Amino acid sequence: SQQGEEDPQALSIQEGENATMNCSYKTSINNLQWYRQNSGRGLVHLILIRSNEREKHSGRLRVTLDTSKKSSSLLITASRAADTASYFCATANFGNEKLTFGTGTRLTIIP
């Protein structure tokens, strides 16, 4: 079964607005990662947050992690048309590097 579930499944916003996606997971994790997938392409790693971290930033990306609620959020600020893609969270457990992915959020930025 999927470890992560993203919410919402699909999101459409105007260019320049902020986009927020959420991820919930089921078991204890070592870290949580976010990936982007453009249509017809492979996944690209965006950002990683470890289980002992609560917030992390990378450029226009902000990730939060709440291990007590087993949830994470990805915020993309000042969205651009090029941000149109599917976004996946992935979790890794302690002791191995196996990544378990959620079902993804399809983000559409309207110019």
Partner 1 sequence: DAGITQSPRYKITETGRQVTLMCHQTWSHSYMFWYRQDLGHGLRLIYYSAAADITDKGEVPDGYVVSRSKTENFPLTLESATRSQTSVYFCASSEGIRGFFGPGTRLTVL
Which positions touch partner 1 (CB under 8 A)?
1-2, 30-31, 33, 35, 40-45, 48, 88, 90, 92, 96-104
Report the nearest approach of partner 1 to the CB of residue 56 (Å): 14
Q: Of 2 and 18, which CB lies nearer to partner 1 in the complex structure?
A: 2
H helices of 18-64, in order, are none
Q: CA 73, 75, 81, 82: dihedral to nearest 10 degrees?
A: -70
Report the nearest approach of partner 1 to the CB of residue 51 (Å): 12
Report the nearest approach of partner 1 to the CB of residue 88 (Å): 6
d(CA 42, CA 61): 20
Q: Of 31 and 84, which CB lies nearer to partner 1 in the complex structure?
A: 31
Q: With contact defined as beta carbons under 8 Å apart, do 73 and 21 qualify?
A: yes
Q: CA 33, 100, 94, 25: dihedral to nearest 10 degrees?
A: 80
Both structure tokens of 19: 């986009």
Report the nearest approach of partner 1 to the CB of residue 21 (Å): 13
Q: Of 1 and 27, which CB lies nearer to partner 1 in the complex structure?
A: 1
